[in-house]
Structure formats: structure tokens, C-alpha cells
Amino acid sequence: MIIGVPKEIKQNESRVALTPAGVTEMLNHNHTVYIQTQAGEGSGFSDEAYKDAGAQILPNIEAIYDIAEMIIKVKEPIASEYNLIKENQLVFTYFHFASSEALTKAMIDNKSICLAYETVEKADRSLPLLVPMSEVAGRMAVQEGAKYLEKPTGGRGILLGGVPGVKPANVLIIGGGIVGTQAAKMAAGLGANVTIMDISLPRLRQLADIMPANVETIMSNQYNIAEAIQHSDLIVGAVLIPGAKAPHLITQDMLKTMQPGTVVVDVAVDQGGCIETCKPTTHEDPTYVIDEVVHYCVANMPGAVPYTSTVALTNATLPYAIQLANKGWKKACQDSKELKLGLNIVQGEIVYQPVATAFDLPYTPVDTYLKGEAVV
């Protein structure tokens, strides 16, 4: 198969979807790999390194989309890429469709095959291609939160861990999955008073077992959230209902009950955010203030640490990308339930129910496309 890797063009996005090691693997399986010039530069991989691994370098993004049967990238296509994507071209990347009707409609219109990293799902319900970036974002959430809690950046002016004789900060984490767990570990390690909320009692039990003594677990519900936000200094939004729009657990009215200078890091922004007042921001201008509450809502947090994130992401995506390249999307999705769940839009039809629900658009069951002879 002919594989194309464009340079990411989202603001301050320096990750790349394939490393030189990944190129070698693809070549070992008899595939051809084209990389846009400088695509790996921000992650420490030069064009020379890709050439040495056997890739061919193309000078611009148009050339990559023009030649490739499968595009592998990191972030969702942005508006200038919509028309570069061709009918029947397989695009393997994060899409987060439920947060963007414009993207959803553009991918319906171009009739491509959209296989979303974030909904590839294992039998145990884990999301293997979201996990590594959630690990990064969860850890970063506390780092960023600590920074914006400083007075000069608009925060309350409180040190997460306090100092001897002074109380530490209160950190509330809503959602105890991968992001939530990593955020809790970091905040607890710094000495903060940490509370994790989740709607899953089994999950809260697991967390209570593994977390240190300065982390408590509380059931997530409207009453408990309303109470906890009043004395939280840092709040991390970390909920997920796979593929769907995040529920708004903190409404605009509730901001008025919070302490001035509270920082909210809504990591779930890529699925629309779990705070009503969340709107996506960039690494260049990551925060804004509403009702004296600092909002940090960067939708590509791991993009800021590409040396860590590119390798973590490609460690997870490469085995799936190889299956897709070896078998073609149809056969690969017939053979693997995990990959099949990654299909969101196929040739103009939404095949992932929560995306159709998010915009009240028609839904076509994915098996409609996977029946019959596989096309390689």
C-alpha cells in the first residue's frame, strides 16, 4: 500500500504519525512510505533519518494527499485539508467528530474512509490508541494547572503542595480513567489534597486501592460536584463517553460559586468539554477567564511535548497501521473488532452511532460495509 504522512498543521502541533522506526517496519511489509518534508522535525526526526529508513520525501502536503492510499496523521484534518482528502482514501488519525459538525460534514462530503484512533476499542472496553495521549495529557494537566494557579498567570496564587505549616491546594479530578488517574498521581505526588470523582463504583474501588492517602474517591453526581467545586483550587475535566459529546457537568451558573482564580483544565475539550463554558484554545493562547475562573482548554495538549508524545503514540498506532496496510481497511476491519470500532465515517455515511446522535444525522450500521467479499 502507498502510505502518506503529512506534516501536522494545527497550531503548535509538533507530533508526527510515523517515526523512522515505523517506516522500516512498513517497508519490511512491502509498503511504500511518503513523508512530507520536515514532518518529523518538531519531534526530533530529520528528513535524513526518514530517508535512511527508506521513506521518500515529498515537498508539500498536496503531494502527500495526492499520492497516498492511506494517510496516517495525528490530529483531525483542519479546514485547509478537507478538500485534499479524496474519495475512498483511508485516513487514520484522531478525529473527535462529536466536537465538530463542520469536520463531520466535510468528511461525509469527501467520501473518505475515516478510522478514528479514539474509538478503536479492545474487548475489555479500553481505548488502546487514546491511552498513551491520555497518559501524557493527564500528567500535563497538573503541570499546566500548577502554572496557571500562579498569580501572574491569573490564578489564585496557591502552591499545589503548600509548604510546612501551610495547607496544600485542593485538586478535583472529574473522571477517573486514564487522564484522571495520571493527573491524580501527579497532583498527589506534589502533595495536594486530591479528590477523584467517577460514575463507576468499581472504578472508584480500584482507585481507592492504588492511590496514596492524599487522594479520596467520591461518586460523581450533580450534588457532589456542586459542593466540591466551591473549595477546589484546580479542577481537571477528564470524563469520556467514547465517541460522544462530553456531558456538561459544570454549568456557567456554577462558576459563580467557585473561588476567584480557580483553574479549570478541561482535558475533555476534544469531545466538547465537560464544563459548559469550555471552548477550544491553542498552546499559543491557552487560557481565558470567565467569572474569575481561569479556563485552560487546549485540545492537543500532548502536541507540546512531541519528543515524548510521538514515540508514545506511534508505539500504539503502528501495529494497527500495519494491519490496515497489509489487508486494506475492509479486510482488516472484518478481521479485527478493535479496528472495526474505529470506523466513524465510510464513503459518506456515519457508521459510529454516537457521532450520528451528536448531530442528529443518519446512521448506517458499519456491517453494511463489511459484509461480503473483502476488498484488499
Ligand X SMILES: NC(=O)C1=CN([C@@H]2O[C@H](COP(=O)(O)OP(=O)(O)OC[C@H]3O[C@@H](n4cnc5c(N)ncnc54)[C@H](O)[C@@H]3O)[C@@H](O)[C@H]2O)C=CC1
Q: Which residues are designated catalytic? A: 96, 270
263 is in an annotated binding site: no
| Interaction of residue 8 with ligand CC(=O)C(=O)O, rule CB under 6 A | no
Region binding ligand X by CB under 6 A among candidate stretches 75-83, 153-161, 237-245, 361-369: 237-245
Please, what is the minimum distance in Å from the beta carbon of residue 10 to Mg ion? 32
- CB atoms inside a 10 Å sphere around CB 322: 17
Site for ligand CC(=O)C(=O)O in 111-130 (CB under 6 A): 130
305 is in an annotated binding site: no
| Interaction of residue 335 with Mg ion, rule CB under 5 A | no
The one among 47, 292, 335, 349 contacting Mg ion by CB under 5 A:
292
Which C-beta is closer to Mg ion: that of 101 or that of 292? Answer: 292
- CB atoms inside a 10 Å sphere around CB 183: 30
* Pattern 74-113, ligand X, x by CB under 6 A: ----------------------------------------
Burial of 279 (0-12, 13-18, 19+ CB in 10 A): middle
| Interaction of residue 133 with ligand CC(=O)C(=O)O, rule CB under 6 A | yes
The site that binds ligand CC(=O)C(=O)O (CB under 6 A) totals a number of residues, namely: 7
141 binds, options ligand CC(=O)C(=O)O, Mg ion, ligand X, none, Cβ within 5 to 8 A by partner type: none
The one among 25, 144, 270, 338 contacting ligand CC(=O)C(=O)O by CB under 6 A:
270
Residues near ligand CC(=O)C(=O)O, by CB under 6 A: 75, 94, 130, 133, 270, 300, 302
Residues near ligand X, by CB under 6 A: 118, 130, 133-134, 137, 174-180, 197-200, 203, 220, 238-241, 247, 249, 267-271, 298-302
